[in-house]
Amino acid sequence: MYIYRTIIIALSLFFVMGMTPLAAEDRKGLQIKGWIGGWEPDYTRKGYETMFFYDGLNRLDLYAGYSYSDQVYYNRKKIYASGYYFYRPDSYLKLYLAQKDYDYPVDPSVQKPNPDSNSYDKVPAAELEVSHWFVKSLRGTLAYEYFKPSFFYDKDTTAENQKISAEVYYLLPVDFLKAKVIYANLRDPDPNTTEIKGRDNLKTSSGTATTTDIRYQTSSLLGGAVEFERDQWSAELKYLPNRDLDNSYKYSFLTGVGYELNPRLSTRLDYVYDKYSAISNFAGETAKVYRMSALYELNERVDLGVGYKHIHIPRGNENTGFLSLSYKTGLVF
């Protein structure tokens, strides 16, 4: 409860400070953002995040933050930093660094096994991304991520995982429609052949493994999306097979509709539909997320967001709300 009281007090201070008008020359600089609750259109039941954003440098945007999230099947703490270098006004290079720490629920009715043998403990990660507009109607994005997780049941052993993702973004001849093609490829330990010390030995009929033996697999996805934007309306429909690249989901639909009531107030509805794969613990079942949110520009310094989310998963339902706040300090270093 202490962390929540602290964040609420901080948000209250931002509100008061935000009542001071922001001069035009101070709109760039340090910005502080905070979230409480399940703000993403995903399975986060509760959490919090604080992020610092700085755009006071020529062509360079900097981010840093800390977050905690309860995602039903696991809890995660994350500290991260990233930088965007805009070598052209519409194209950038991005470097992202993060340290993630995982823990798992103890309720066997939520997840079985709990957790599985291949679950991770600590995950340091680094990602390099480039996004480039080739012509007025075509953008390409390519990213490479390397992460070296230790295992929850064998903290002395690490894997070396690599992920490559790409996106082609095309503005259709109808100017209010845009299309995306999305591809991702992940090399990580195969849960069916990787043995973890002290866990079931997968290569014999009984017993436990005396050492960890990592056998890698490669998973991929090829999906797409269509975006609509016209007047005050915006919408997106995205289709992704195996979206987590761990073969737990067969396919997923992610949709969202936004409406700008006026220049200061906008609303959005999001819906996520996941179909579990045949090899999942919840084979053939579905999971859904319904999310409603509103974002209001209180003044030139402060943006305030509120929302509600309903999560439907096998074995039960969850309801959660959230609050977000962004404060432009006007400080330039």
Instruction: Give residue-wise pLDDT tens across range 6-31.
Output: 444 444 444 444 444 554 445 689 99
Lowest mean pLDDT among 32-36, 105-109, 293-297: 105-109
Confidence band for 2, pLDDT divided at 50, 70 and 90: very low
63: Cβ–Cβ under 8 A, 6 or more apart, which residues? 51, 52, 53, 54, 80, 81, 82, 83
What confidence score (pLDDT) does residue 276 get?
96
Yes or no: domain 2-328 corresponds to CATH 2.60.40: no
Give the residue among 242, 295, 238 at the shortest CA–CA distance from 271: 238
What confidence score (pLDDT) does residue 205 get?
66
What confidence score (pLDDT) does residue 64 get?
98
What tokens does 295 get? 């974002």
What confidence score (pLDDT) does residue 115 get?
84
What confidence score (pLDDT) does residue 19 get?
44
Distance, in Å, from the CA atom of 108 to the CA atom of 286, rounded to the nearest integer, reads 19
Please state the separation of Cα 69 from the chain's center in Å.
11
Tens digit of each residue's pLDDT (9 = 90 or more) over 278-289 = 988 899 999 999
pTM, rounded to two decimals = 0.88
